[in-house]
Amino acid sequence: MENPHAERQNVLLQRITKNADKCTETIVELNHCLEEIIRANAHVQIAADLVTKYRKNVQYNLKATRESEAT
């Protein structure tokens, strides 16, 4: 006679495995989508970096100009 407890555990393990597989598949798909978004935003990141550097340079030059005018 088969053990009903072992049978129930086997069914539960199969469900857990199936759900874990679905979860893994979804995470892989999510990672793929995130990689596409990162690639699509690469130009935006470059532009943002350039603007940030430009802003720092402008602030530095304004400060230097004000200091030279003050003396």
pLDDT of 55 > 90? The answer is: yes
- CA–CA gap between residue 40 and residue 35 (Å, rounded): 9
Domain extent for 20: 1-40
Residues 36 and 47 both lie in one domain: no
Residues 5 and 24 both lie in one domain: yes
pLDDT of 1 > 70? The answer is: no
Residues 29 and 47 both lie in one domain: no
Write down the mean pLDDT value for the chain: 94
Residues 51 and 70 both lie in one domain: yes
DSSP, res 42: H
Does the reported pTM lie above 0.75?
A: no
- CA–CA gap between residue 65 and residue 71 (Å, rounded): 10
For range 7-15, the mean pLDDT: 95
Nearest to 35 by CA among 24, 27, 47, 23: 27
Tally of domains within the chain? 2
Residues 52 and 71 both lie in one domain: yes
Residues 52 and 28 both lie in one domain: no
For range 55-60, the mean pLDDT: 96
Max CA pair span of the chain: 100
